Amino acid sequence: MAEESDARGLVILHQDEDWLLVNKPAQQLVHPTRPDGARTLIDVVREAFPGETLAIINRLDRETSGLVLISRHSEAASLLGKMTMARQIRKRYQAIVQGAAVPGASIHARLGRLADRGQSRIFVKQGVLEAGATAVTRFRRLDSRRDGAGRVFSLLELELETGRLHQIRAHLRYVNLPVLGDKLYGPDDQCYLDFIEQGWTAGLAEKLLHPRQALHASQVEFDWKGNLVRVNCPLPEDLQEFWDGLRLAA
């Protein structure tokens, strides 16, 4: 079905009797983190589909925008969960990164929690560790451009062969292509710590160049009841506006 949007701000890109594909905006949590917190994506979907047994199949970080798959009953949740584990649900992402990316590559690098090895002050931060979990990310460069200061940016399309915490962001940092606006995997730990304490500041704007991480879940594809489902979600306005403001790289 075509894109729908209601008064709650819920944007449904595809609706099936068994599941939904919705477009999560940046800065919205998927699930509540505390009882008195802001309304989350699942809160909004429950209001739109009262009485249904809804479950989030793929989660996105707060600042990441794009496609989220939501089952509408327990049987669909079970089957979609098994398909996810079997890597039968194919997901693609787009990211604006800082740096001149090669046309395409696969990143094979084990990931683990850096704080466990004393390599970060931030408990959740992931990085390449020899004893970490296997992680593989594939990407291709869609375009490269420069800003007025001559800094190069690349627009990438990415696919995950594994699903580790913060995998895309940690892998891109590892190959010196940090995601634009990424406070956690940007220049240093202090960016994230300053943001937690002070919020978005002029100093962070100067370092990170964009107020949120430029990562977007752009496509979901899977087979359902004998039919191929492929749903695309274009870059949101804030990322497209940043990209359109750049000039073609020489």
Give me the average pLDDT of each 10-residue run along the chain (250 residues): 59 97 96 78 96 96 97 98 96 98 98 94 95 97 96 97 96 98 95 95 97 98 97 98 88
Report the chain's terminal Cα–Cα distance, integer Å.
41
Domain ranges of the chain: 1-86, 90-219+231-250
- Give the model's pLDDT for residue 33: 76
Cβ distance 89 to 222 under 8 Å?
Answer: yes
Residue 177 near residue 134, CB atoms below 8 Å: no
List 24's β-bridge partners, or say none. 66
**pLDDT score, position 2:** 45
Does the fold of domain 90-219+231-250 match that of domain 1-86? Answer: yes
Residue 111 near residue 167, CB atoms below 8 Å: yes
The answer to whether the CB of 132 falls within 8 A of the CB of 112 is yes
Q: Residue 32 has what pLDDT?
A: 81
Instruction: Single out the catalytic residue among 6, 18, 36, 61.
Output: 61
Look at residue 187 in the predicted model and tell me its pLDDT: 92
Q: Is 61 a catalytic residue?
A: yes
Inter-residue contact 12 to 21 (CB < 8 Å) = yes
Paired tokens of 48? 């739109």
Query: Which amino acid belongs to residue 233?
Result: C
pLDDT computed for residue 36 by the predictor: 64
The topology under which CATH files domain 1-86 is Pseudouridine synthase (3.30.2350)
> What pLDDT sits at residue 9?
81
DSSP three-state, residue 73 = coil
Q: Is the pTM of this model over 0.85?
A: yes
Q: What is the pLDDT of residue 3?
A: 53
Fold designation for 90-219+231-250: Pseudouridine synthase (3.30.2350)
- pLDDT at residue 35 in the model: 66
